[in-house]
Amino acid sequence: MSDDGGGGTGAPQSPGDAFALLGNEYRAEIIRTLGDAHGTEGPRPVLAFSELYDRADVDIATSQFNYHLQKLVGPFLEGTDEGYRLRHGAVELYRTILAGTYIRDASLEPFPVGADCHYCEAPIEARYDDRRLVIGCSACDREYSDTTAPPSIGDGDRDALLARIDQYLRHRILAFSKGACSICANGLDTRLLPGEELAGAGANQLDVFVHRSCDHCGAQQYMSVGLALLYDVDLVSFFNNRGLDVTETPIWELEFAMTDRHVDTVATEPTRLALRVERGGDELELVVDGDLTVVERSTP
C-alpha cells in the first residue's frame, strides 16, 4: 500500500484509507467528470484516458493526471482496455458530492406549508438549516418532522418544493416503518417508548412513540403509531375508497399520523395498541403488538 492510502485494486483497507485517497482536488474532479458523463440514463460510460483528461477541469500534465487516476482505479474506478468508469460505490459518492452534503451550507427561511397545527391551529411551517429539515408549528413548540437532508433539497423548482419535501420524508419513513434502515439497509430494532421516558424537545408531544434504530449505522427515528402504519394496505385502501389518498396527501396534514389522538392502549401484557381512524362515518381499527405487527384488523 502506498503512502497516501493505496490505489491498485480492491477496496480501501479502512475508512481512513478511503478518505485519504479522495483527499485531493484532482481525484475529486476525476470522479465528478465521470459522474457528469453518466448523466441520468443508461449504463455508466467508459471514458478513454484522453477524453477524460480533456473533459476534466484540471491544469496539470497528463503524467500527473494519470498518477492521480491510477490511485482511484480499483477502489473507485474500473480500468478497462477502453478506458475508465465509476464503480457503483463511486456513483453514490458522486451523488453525495452533488447533493452538497459535505461542502455546502444552505438554509431556507421558514415558510408556511399550507396546513394548520393540529394542536393550536397556527400555521405549520418548514425550515431548513444546518442540514436539518424541520416541519413544525410557527407558534407552539410542536414539531411534526425533524430529519437530516442534503443542502440540495432547496434547489430547483420552488413551487414543487413542498411536494418534494413530503416525498423525501416518506422515503425515509417508509423504509423505517417497514423495519429496514434507509441508510445502510440493515434490519431495525423496534421499541414502543412512552413520551414520559423521552428526554429533549418534543418528548411531551405523544403519549407513545415508535422508536426504530439501526445498531449497524446508528440511524434512528421516532414516529407516531399512525405514521408507522401509514403504508398499511388496509389503511391506504380505507382512505382511498373514501376519497383521500394518504400516499399523496402531505404527511403533516394527516392528523392520525401527526398526533396520537387515534391511538389507545388496549392491553399491556402483552402490549396491544389500537389505531382507530374515521372517514365518511366509517371506522377502521388496526391493533398492533409491541413490534408494530398488525395482529387484528376490523375493516368496515
For position 258 contacting Zn ion by CB under 5 A, the verdict is no
Q: From 117, 140, 151, 120, select the one nearest 253 (Cα to Cα).
A: 117
Bridge partners of 31? none
Beta-carbon contacts of 142 under 8 Å, excluding residues fewer than 6 positions away, are 117, 118, 119, 120, 136, 202, 205
Quick check: 118 and 258 in contact, CB under 8 A? Answer: yes
- From the list 69-77, 113-121, 149-157, 263-271, the region that binds Zn ion by CB under 5 A is 113-121
Question: Does residue 181 bind Zn ion (CB under 5 A)?
Answer: yes
Can you read off the three cell numbers belonging to residue 54? 480533456
CB of 92 to Zn ion, least distance (A): 15
Task: List binders of Zn ion among 194-233 (CB under 5 A).
Answer: 214, 216-217, 219
Of the pair 152, 182, the CB lying nearest Zn ion is at 182
The verdict on 178 binding Zn ion (CB under 5 A) reads: no
Question: Of 136-144, 157-165, 205-213, 228-236, which segment contacts Zn ion by CB under 5 A?
Answer: 136-144
Q: Residue 67 contacts by C-beta under 8 Å, 6 or more apart in sequence?
A: none
Q: How far is the CB of 236 from Zn ion (least distance, A)?
A: 26
**Omega within 30 of 0 (cis) for the link into 75:** no
User: Which of 98, 183 has the CB closer to Zn ion?
Assistant: 183
- 24 or 138: whose CB is closer to Zn ion? 138
Q: Considering the complex, state which of residue 103 and residue 184 has its C-beta at the smaller distance from Zn ion.
A: 184
Orientation angle between helical segments 25-38 and 15-22, nearest 10 degrees: 90
Binding site for Zn ion (CB under 5 A): 117, 119-120, 122, 137, 140, 142, 181, 183-184, 186, 214, 216-217, 219
